[in-house]
Chain A
């Protein structure tokens, strides 16, 4: 692989409960590397609720 041909792309996917910082490396039209750093903003469960005791 000629690393000089690699194209780096970085972007952020925003979400109310977490942001994803994405790093991609492309060789022509092929994705050869993708890393994600997920920043959680708050705890949540699958139903988006915090446990609540009545």
Chain B
């Protein structure tokens, strides 16, 4: 498989099939507006995994402080390609945080495309966390092949 194809997939430059998918307009075909992505938090009791297809409020942490249903917007940088690995993610060491927040036993973050029908992108689990009237901050990993949020190897 061509390595450039992996990067181009992330840029939406290929459209397979004989039927047209339903897409929310990106305004221009020659200079399309990138989609908006969000990150939402889920309880340890929720079922969120590779079979998840869209964002759902079921199992999401309750609204608290600056956390509201649907989570927060994150900016995904232009996909890169190093060797045989295409990758995409937020800027290295960038953060997303929620303040005056109380949440109990949550262990999962869903990244989804809020422009294109809340379609699920990826699920990221971590050790179960409890926040008490405090701040929950996620610092994203280095945005490079092998460490980025999303890798196509």
Chain A residue at smallest Cβ distance from B126? A18
Take A15-B126, A15-B127, A46-B108 as given contacts and tell me if A33 and B132 are in contact as well, using a CB distance cutoff of 8 Å: yes
- Interface majority SS (helix, strand, loop, mixed), chain B: strand
Stretch of B17-25, B28-36, B140-148 lying at the A interface: B140-148
| In-complex Cβ contact of A46 among B1, B6, B48, B140 (8 A) | B48
- Interface presence of B15 (CB below 8 A): no
Q: Binary interface profile of A, 9-46, with partner B (CB < 8 Å = 1, else 0)?
A: 00001010110100100000001111111111111111
**How many whole Å from B103's CB to the nearest CB in chain A?**
10
Please tell me if the beta carbons of A50 and B127 are within 8 angstroms of each other in the complex.
no
Chain B: which residue is nearest A35 at the CB level? B134
Interface centre among B127, B129, B131 (most CB of A within 10 A): B127
With A18-B126, A35-B131, A45-B123 in contact, is A53–B6 under 8 Å at CB? Answer: yes
Contacts of B41-98 to chain A: CB distance below 8 A: 48-50, 87, 89
Checking A13, A33, A40, A51 against B133 with a beta-carbon cut-off of 8 angstroms, the contacting residue is A33
Within 8 Å CB of B139, what residues of A?
Answer: 37-40
Residue of A nearest to B140 (CB): A40
Chain B neighbourhood of A46, CB < 8 A: 48-50, 108, 123-125
Least CB distance from A52 to B in Å reads 5
CA distance A50 to B122 in the complex (A): 10
Contact of A50 with B134 in the complex, beta carbons under 8 Å: no
Is the beta-carbon distance between B126 and A43 smaller than 8 angstroms?
no
Q: How far is the CA of A35 from the CA of B132 in the complex (A)?
A: 7
Report B63 CB to chain A, min CB distance, Å: 18
- Write the nearest CB–CB distance from B149 to chain A, whole angstroms: 4
Contacts of A32 in B (CB 8 A): 132-133
